[in-house]
Amino acid sequence: MGVLDKLRKVGDFVRKNWRSTGDDSYREYERERERERKQAKRGRQDAERVAERKRGKTEREREYEERYTAERAADEPQPEASPREDTSKPE
């Protein structure tokens, strides 16, 4: 059985490639459509990858700013709260 299957596959391959391969053949049309489909798919995947990188970069920048703003605020010496003088009452 295995040999017959292999022979059938070889025959199918030869028959498929024996057909017309001119520019106006249906086979060329199929190849072109398949190539265009794959290019479009790669283009979509590339666009998704670029968008994901951009989102990740923006997120990292935002987190960086939040973290270092908080650290800077913590490192700054806090001004001592001095008692306010009440200027509304005359002495």
42-85 residue pLDDT tens:
999 999 999 999 999 999 999 999 999 988 888 877 666 555 66
SS (H, E, C) the chain: CHHHHHHHHHHHHHHHHHCCCCCCCHHHHHHHHHHHHHHHHHHHHHHHHHHHHHHHHHHHHHHHHHHHHHHHHHHCCCCCCCCCCCCCCCC
Q: What's residue 52's pLDDT?
A: 96
Domain limits at 57?
A: 39-73
Q: Is residue 61 part of a domain?
A: yes
**Structural domain count, the chain:** 1
Task: With respect to residue 33, please indicate whether it lies within any of the assigned structural domains.
Answer: no
In a domain, 11, yes or no: no
Does any domain span residue 2? no
Residue 58 is assigned to a structural domain of this protein = yes
Q: Is residue 57 part of a domain?
A: yes
Q: What's the maximum distance between 2 C-alpha atoms anywhere in the chain? A: 116
In a domain, 48, yes or no: yes
44 part of a folded domain? yes
